[in-house]
């Protein structure tokens, strides 16, 4: 069964450093998403991406964040200058989003630890 994959599974970085989190969505999906989950808290929407542009973003997704689909298979989240409060699990998701199917399928996540 097709799955969303994410790398790395765990990233440790120092405050102020840049990180890139990578995702390979399910191959026939056209909509891509990033969510985050701070330990013990809700899963929170960050951004959605369709047709090579951002279609929606949350208040969390400020200028330190960016997304890119550098080729036909990868989808990346870049955090430019990490802060301690960016420590969280980051989940990539993908979906087809047709009227009969709005589901989003999630990857296993990248645990980001900022020290």
Partner 1 sequence: EDQVTQSPEALRLQEGESSSLNCSYTVSGLRGLFWYRQDPGKGPEFLFTLYSAGEEKEKERLKATLTKKESFLHITAPKPEDSATYLCAVQGNSSASKIIFGSGTRLSIRP
Stretch of 13-21, 50-58, 70-78, 80-88 contacting partner 1, by CB under 8 A: 50-58
Among 11, 29, 31, 96, binds partner 1 (CB under 8 A): 31
- Work out whether 42 is an interface residue with partner 1 (CB under 8 A): yes
Peptide bond into 8 cis (omega under 30): yes
The Cα 68–Cα 49 span in angstroms is 9
- List for the chain the helix, strand, coil content (%; round to 5): 5, 50, 45
Query: Does position 20 bind partner 1 by CB under 8 A?
Result: no
Among 67, 77, 88, 109, binds partner 1 (CB under 8 A): 109
26 lies in the site for partner 1, by CB under 8 A? no
The CA–CA distances, whole Å, from 9 to 17, 50, 109 equal 18, 25, 6
CB of 16 to partner 1, least distance (A): 27
Q: How far is the CB of 99 from partner 1 (least distance, A)?
A: 9
Please give the distance of CA 76 from its chain centroid, rounded to a whole number.
7
Q: Which residue is listed with tokens 């997304």?
A: 67
- Which residues of the shown chain bind partner 1 in the complex (CB under 8 A)? 4, 31, 33, 35, 41-45, 48, 50, 55-56, 58, 89, 91, 97, 101-109, 111
């Amino acid at each position: 069964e097709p799955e969303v994959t994410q790398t790395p599974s765990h990233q440790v970085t120092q405050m102020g450093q840049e990180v890139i989190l990578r995702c390979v969505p399910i191959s026939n999906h056209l909509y891509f998403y990033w969510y985050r989950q701070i330990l013990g808290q809700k899963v929170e929407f960050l951004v959605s991406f369709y047709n090579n542009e951002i279609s929606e973003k949350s208040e969390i997704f400020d200028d330190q964040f960016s997304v890119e689909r550098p080729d036909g298979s990868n989808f990346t989240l870049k955090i430019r200058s990490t802060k301690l409060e960016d420590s969280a699990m980051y989940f990539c998701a993908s979906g087809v989003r047709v009227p009969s199917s709005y589901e989003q399928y999630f990857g296993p996540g990248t645990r980001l630890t900022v020290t």
